[in-house]
Chain A
């Protein structure tokens, strides 16, 4: 692997991002600081008839592994309080969605323009709505492990944490063995039970992301045993 930053390795992609950003978001600028690519400036949010609803000053930090990884997005004018209830980390990073849902909202090949127009704009519109009404119009995930359990409950149609944990463990494995007991506790081998669902989500959720969630689930298990 090259030791150079991705934008030096791939100047064409870097130039394309610069051009796309400046064409679509003229008050935003793409530049580099300490080998990190940042996109910073004013993002105006519009309704379906192109009437301005609101505007935010944001900064998008592209990961060093770009185009792999999810960019970090920050609101940099201190408008949104940096608290979990507003879905903002201490250092200002916005929690746009659960990492598990990357396949839906930041799938491979998603352009920066689509990312800004999609998850980022929707998140900020949600914040504008929250300022007025105190709720998020799109709903919100519970904080921490509860949000993770909510997502897997939707996928597996059960809130049995044992089933969820086994499913997530299987997602962490590099390959699936058909003779493994099915995560659903039916006693059958997975090849004769829910192999199709596991295969579907193995394609959608990366092992590293599943591993991150498994850590949350195990920590929660240890904490509840202590109690």
Chain B
């Protein structure tokens, strides 16, 4: 199979179906979340909207977290005077309906009934001024307690890059390899270093990006919304860059050997029934296969 055909098929397999069950569940939770915020802060009119991969058009089924920002007007103190208070008050307003898991700037929502992760992160913040372009968000960790950002700049930078399909497959690679790199870092890397391939086929952009990572360890990124203020070099430190470079080198060996199925798997996954039959056949070759155990009863 040709490279382009392979990567296009993989992309299709991992596409998020907007009418699928996961998205329907997310949409319905989003509406519920909006209602809870507006119900708790009736005198306010915060801006509640999608951020993250949904807005950037880079969602894949393997990583379909939904970021929702909730920004209060710059002179609105109804949710708190400080960013920390806003963060805490937004977090507390979900306490009756969800299990909340505080993250660095976001609040992750988990179902109270099923304990299921709802894949929704709410990011509270406050606009810097009336223009509603820049906002401050609270940071629970790190040196600075607040970060200045511009959601539209971030979204536009990725969504309009012409590289969203490359980003989707790089995200899949990140997940499959266990690179554990934050999605926005990968997105910024792709947009910066694969920019010249934005009008080329997907395979060209993707492979060129991997080639770049393989051949360099000195790459860097800047936050397009606040290049001076937000230092991303700590996240993309030398160990991370080296690991990325090694991983890219491995994947490029597969590309060079035309061993594409080993990168993201087969483009024709087997059905559940075929899978169980195949597994039975594998186990039939073992007279005494290891049986899993667990030290705990609970």
Inside 8 A of B275's CB, which chain A residues have their CB? 53-54, 128-129, 132
| Nearest CB of chain A from residue B186's CB, rounded to whole Å | 16
A48 to B229, CA, bound (A): 55
State which size class the interface on B falls in.
Answer: 35 or more
| Nearest CB of chain B from residue A96's CB, rounded to whole Å | 6
| Nearest CB of chain A from residue B292's CB, rounded to whole Å | 4
A128 to B282, CA, bound (A): 12
Chain B residues numbered 280-294 whose CB sits less than 8 Å from any CB in chain A:
280-283, 285-286, 288-294
A94 to B251, CA, bound (A): 27
When the two chains form their complex, are residues A140 and B282 in contact, meaning their CB atoms are under 8 A apart? Answer: no
Return the contact of B243 from the options A31, A122, A139 (Cβ within 8 A): A31
| Nearest CB of chain B from residue A85's CB, rounded to whole Å | 8
When the two chains form their complex, are residues B292 and A41 in contact, meaning their CB atoms are under 8 A apart? Answer: no
When the two chains form their complex, are residues B270 and A122 in contact, meaning their CB atoms are under 8 A apart? Answer: no
When the two chains form their complex, are residues B276 and A29 in contact, meaning their CB atoms are under 8 A apart? Answer: no
A44 within 8 A of B: yes
Inside 8 A of A137's CB, which chain B residues have their CB? 279-280, 283
Inside 8 A of A51's CB, which chain B residues have their CB? 266, 270, 278
A28 to B278, CA, bound (A): 24
When the two chains form their complex, are residues B290 and A76 in contact, meaning their CB atoms are under 8 A apart? Answer: no
Chain A CB within 10 A, most for which of B239, B276, B279, B283: B279
A160 to B29, CA, bound (A): 55
A46 to B33, CA, bound (A): 43
| Nearest CB of chain A from residue B182's CB, rounded to whole Å | 15
Return the contact of B293 from the options A76, A98, A125 (Cβ within 8 A): A98
> With A41-B178, A53-B275, A122-B283 in contact, is A97–B262 under 8 Å at CB?
no
Nearest residue (CB) in B for A97 is B290
When the two chains form their complex, are residues A47 and B292 in contact, meaning their CB atoms are under 8 A apart? Answer: no
Chain A residues numbered 46-79 whose CB sits less than 8 Å from any CB in chain B:
47-48, 51-55, 57-59, 76-77
Nearest residue (CB) in B for A40 is B178
When the two chains form their complex, are residues A42 and B282 in contact, meaning their CB atoms are under 8 A apart? Answer: no
| Nearest CB of chain B from residue A93's CB, rounded to whole Å | 10
Nearest residue (CB) in A for B177 is A41
Inside 8 A of A7's CB, which chain B residues have their CB? none
Inside 8 A of B155's CB, which chain A residues have their CB? none
When the two chains form their complex, are residues B286 and A138 in contact, meaning their CB atoms are under 8 A apart? Answer: yes
Chain B residues numbered 229-258 whose CB sits less than 8 Å from any CB in chain A:
239, 243, 246-247, 250-251, 253-254
A89 to B272, CA, bound (A): 26
| Nearest CB of chain A from residue B91's CB, rounded to whole Å | 23
When the two chains form their complex, are residues A84 and B297 in contact, meaning their CB atoms are under 8 A apart? Answer: yes
| Nearest CB of chain B from residue A222's CB, rounded to whole Å | 15
A191 within 8 A of B: no
Return the contact of B291 from the options A27, A29, A141 (Cβ within 8 A): A141
17 A/B residue pairs, CB under 8 Å, sorted by A: A22-B250, A26-B259, A27-B176, A28-B250, A52-B266, A52-B269, A53-B270, A53-B279, A53-B282, A57-B176, A57-B177, A84-B294, A88-B294, A123-B290, A138-B283, A144-B295, A147-B293
Give A residues with C-beta under 8 Å from B. Answer: 22, 26-29, 31, 33, 40-42, 44, 47-48, 51-55, 57-59, 76-77, 84-85, 87-89, 94-98, 101, 104-105, 118-119, 122-123, 125-126, 128-129, 132-133, 136-141, 143-144, 147, 216
Task: List 11 other contacts, CB 8 Å, given A27-B254, A95-B295, A140-B291.
Answer: A29-B243, A44-B262, A48-B281, A57-B178, A77-B178, A87-B294, A95-B294, A123-B292, A125-B279, A137-B280, A138-B290
Closest 7 CB pairs of A and B: A87-B292, A97-B290, A141-B293, A84-B294, A138-B289, A42-B176, A47-B278
